[in-house]
Amino acid sequence: MNKTIVNELVAKTLKELNAPAQPLQRSRIWKDPKGYQYLAVWQNAAFLRVLIRKFTLTLPLWEKRLKAQMDDCARSQKRNIEEGWKRPTTSEYLQFVGYSQASLEELKGDVRDCKTDGFLRVKEGSSLKDIGIDLHVFKGPLKGQAKGEPTEPGHPYYKPLSTLNPHTLTYEMFMELINKTDYLLRALVQSLEQKLAQNQKAYQLEQARIKSKIAKSTLY
Query: Cβ(14)–Cβ(213) under 8 Å?
Result: yes
- 1-25 pLDDT, tens digit per residue, is 555 655 665 565 555 555 555 444 4
**CB-CB contact of 117 with 144 (8 Å):** no
- CA separation for the pair 185, 32 (Å, rounded): 20
DSSP state of 142: S
Average the pLDDT over 19-43 and give the result: 74
How far lies 153's CA from each of 31, 50, 157, in Å?
Answer: 25, 15, 9
In a domain, 198, yes or no: no
Q: How many domains does the chain have?
A: 1
pLDDT at 164 over 70: yes
Q: How far apart are CA 178 and CA 101, in angstroms?
A: 10
Helix, strand, or coil here: 146?
Answer: strand
Instruction: Examine residue 211 and state whether it is found in any structural domain, yes or no.
Output: no
Residue-number span of the structural domain to which 173 is assigned: 32-192
Q: Is the dihedral of CA 161, 165, 166, 167 positive or negative?
A: negative
Tell me what the mean pLDDT of segment 71-82 comes to.
98
**Positions of E strands within the chain:** none
Could you report how far apart the first and last alpha carbons of the chain are, in Å?
A: 15
In a domain, 141, yes or no: yes
Flag whether 98 is in a domain. yes
Contact of 188 with 11, CB cutoff 8 Å: no
Asked if residue 205 is part of any domain, the answer here is no
**139: helix, coil or strand?**
strand
Query: What is the Cα 67 distance to its own chain's centre?
Result: 24
pLDDT score for 8: 61
Q: What pTM value is reported for the model?
A: 0.80
Burial of 104 (0-12, 13-18, 19+ CB in 10 A): buried
User: What confidence tens digit (pLDDT) does each residue in 81-122 have?
Assistant: 999 999 989 999 999 999 999 999 999 999 999 999 999 999
Name the burial class of residue 61, with classes exposed (0-12), middle (13-18) and buried (19+) by CB atoms within 10 angstroms of its CB. exposed
Residue 96 CB partners (closer than 8 Å, separation 6+): 80, 81, 83, 84, 87
Give the CATH number, domain containing residue 38: 1.20.1440.60
220 occurs within a structural domain: no
